[in-house]
């Protein structure tokens, strides 16, 4: 039986991680729907969105998984590291604890993600007047891990498209160098509704 040809050249699975309240869902909503709201939602468990873009003349379908930052959901989100081709680590420039937590999130990646997964570091809420983490600190941390660094604002759209497009290109470049790293048959599965819920609260 002939299999229907996929309507994309590459499928890229991305994971967004970081402490609760750093704006992970806000980044995703701004990128996928060009929306921002002060009525923020807290992610319960995990959720995902799809977006198709063009990178280097190729049609790329991006599957972006938005994870809960709260400790009680870590066992749920850990299972999603497997198979992730790119991981975006996020902290808030107005929250030093979230910046310090990046070390622990990197340990999670080293423990649960595939070896050599593409990563980048994002300092969100660059529009905030009450910044406590300076740009130089974020850049030093990214340099320490050998990964790209961006400052973003989901509120005004600064660098939103750049971070997702950059990591998608990183993944594709890696797949082009190593074809065995590219999945030949990827099923897009949606989680049961019980695991994909949202409630009112601080932006995750």
> In percent, how much of the chain has pLDDT > 90?
45
Give the DSSP letter of residue 191.
P
**pLDDT the model gives residue 6:** 67
- Give the integer Cα–Cα distance in Å for 46 and 66: 6
**Mean pLDDT computed over every residue of the chain:** 80
- Which has the closest alpha carbon to 80: 52, 43, 53, 34? 43
Residue 77: per-residue pLDDT:
59
Sequence-separated (6 or more) residues with CB below 8 Å from residue 161: 31
The full DSSP string for 2-27 is: PPPPPS-SEEEEEEEEE-TTSSHHHH
Lowest mean pLDDT among 22-31, 47-56, 129-138, 164-173: 47-56
Strand order from edge to edge, sheet including 10-18: 149-151, 118-124, 86-92, 10-18, 58-67, 41-55, 196-200
Which tens digit of pLDDT belongs to each residue from 20-31?
A: 889 998 898 899
pLDDT band of 183, cuts 50, 70, 90: very low
Question: Pick from 11, 18, 122: which is nearest to 67 by CA?
Answer: 18
The Cα 148–Cα 194 span in angstroms is 35
Residue 203, judged by CB atoms within 10 A of its CB (0-12, 13-18, 19+), counts as buried
CATH architecture of 10-180: 3-Layer(aba) Sandwich (3.40)
- pLDDT tens digits along 124-149: 999 999 999 999 999 999 999 999 99
Specify the pLDDT at position 124.
Answer: 97
- Mean pLDDT throughout 191-203? 41
What pLDDT sits at residue 44? 44
Q: Residue 46: its pLDDT value, please?
A: 58
Domain ranges of the chain: 10-180
Dmax (CA) for the chain in angstroms is 60
Q: What does DSSP say about strands 58-67 and 10-18: parallel, antiparallel, or unpaired?
A: parallel
For residue 201, the Cα-to-chain-centroid distance in whole angstroms is 20
């Amino acid at each position: 039986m002939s299999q229907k040809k996929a309507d994309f050249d590459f499928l890229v699975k991305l994971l967004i991680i970081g402490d609760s309240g750093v704006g992970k869902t806000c980044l995703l909503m701004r990128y996928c729907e060009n929306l921002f709201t002060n009525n923020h939602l807290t992610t319960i468990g995990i959720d995902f969105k799809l977006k198709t873009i063009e990178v280097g003349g190729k049609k790329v379908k991006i599957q972006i998984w938005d994870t809960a930052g709260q400790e009680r959901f870590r066992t749920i989100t850990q299972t999603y590291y497997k198979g992730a081709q790119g991981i975006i680590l996020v902290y808030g420039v107005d929250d030093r604890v979230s910046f310090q937590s990046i070390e622990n999130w990197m340990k999670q990646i080293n423990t649960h993600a595939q070896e050599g997964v593409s990563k980048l570091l994002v300092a969100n809420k660059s529009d905030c007047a009450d910044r406590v983490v300076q740009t130089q600190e974020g850049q030093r941390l990214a340099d320490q891990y050998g990964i790209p660094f961006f400052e973003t604002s989901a509120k005004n759209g600064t660098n939103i498209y750049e971070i997702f497009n950059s990591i998608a290109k990183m993944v594709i470049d890696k797949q082009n160098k190593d074809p065995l790293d590219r999945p030949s048959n990827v099923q897009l599965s949606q989680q049961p509704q019980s695991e994909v819920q949202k409630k009112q609260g601080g932006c995750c």
